[in-house]
Amino acid sequence: MAIATLIAAGRLNDRLVDRALAQLREVDPKARFLQWIDEGDAVDLQVDTPTNAARWALDGLPEVDVVVQPEEHRFKRLLVADMDSTMVGQECLDELADFAGLKREIAEITERAMQGKLDFKAALRERVAMLSGLDEGAIRQCLAERVVPNPGAATLVRTMRVGGAHCILVTGGFVSFAEPIAKMLGFNAIRANRLLFDGSQLSGSVEDPIVDAQAKLDALVEARGELGLDRDQVLAIGDGANDRLMIQEAGLGIAYRPKPALAEVADACLNHHGLDALLWAQGIRRKDWVSG
């Protein structure tokens, strides 16, 4: 058995649910209504068909985010989340580059890397080298003035923590950003790159080893093993090509406003709602959310 969760906050009505059931019954005649999680916001349907078939059947529902997963281990005990353009709405390195007058040039490299068109490590080293000589104070100013969590980020993390989940922020970005962001949102731990300094200025280098797609996957696998969890108990979320490996390894891999390279391998895409919608996907009613 599997659960198909439909999420359309504030506009999920019987008509839309009936349409979804009709589409599901094309691949599973026994598909049925299971329960409202929060009436008008999120609903569970039950299906007895491979999850990929159910996802295909529900594709195209207008402004509805759909998550299909096995019933067992629905609440996840490990969250592994990307930072830039996932937990926060910005690419921190691009915003930092603006303080050096190089945002356009560096953002172009970032976008190509996130699309999977450039080697991530080489692209990271190239961008950091361009910021050589930038004062350390620019990082603090960038954090204070530019970096904003995405809607629902803190609520997702804090609610999962209250439920007993371990939450890790993994990023190809930098400790200088990841540590304060993780503290702000409530993560247990981080895995991030470390910028090198020459006095109070960026040296233009980054410490090895670089956190890339493989390092993100390794962080997930290590934490899962340390916690003694099954694959199905892990939720991973990201937006770009360097999140592919961890998204594929997670029991539930979510692509948030994703680049095509990630959307094609994810279990579900979150295109219309904030990150707290992933609490509905885990069967948690709004009254039980811990506000961020």
Phi, psi of 22 (to 5 degrees): -60, -40
Q: What percent of the chain has pLDDT over 90?
A: 96
Q: In the chain, what are the domains?
A: 1-71 (3.30.70.260), 75-292 (3.40.50.1000)
Q: What is the pLDDT of residues 203-260, one digit of tens each?
A: 999 999 999 999 999 999 999 999 999 999 999 999 999 999 999 999 999 999 999 9
Catalytic residue among 38, 84, 94, 267: 84
Q: What pLDDT, on a 0 to 100 scale, did the predictor assign at position 1?
A: 86
> Could you tell me the pTM of the whole model?
0.96
Q: What is the pLDDT of residues 61-78, one digit of tens each?
A: 999 999 999 999 999 999
Residues 180 and 192: their CA atoms lie apart, in Å, by 12
Q: Catalytic: 212?
A: no
Distances (CA, A) of 225 to 54, 222, 229, 233: 30, 5, 6, 11
- Token pair 């539930």 is at which residue? 252
Q: What is the mean pLDDT of residues 11-26?
A: 96
Which value, to the nearest 10 degrees, does the dihedral of the CA atoms of residues 228, 216, 92, 241 take? -130
Per-residue pLDDT at 50 exceeds 90: no
Catalytic residue among 82, 94, 243, 276: 82
Q: Catalytic: 84?
A: yes
Q: What percent of the chain has pLDDT over 70?
A: 100
Burial of residue 61 (number of CB atoms within 10 Å: 0-12, 13-18, 19+): middle
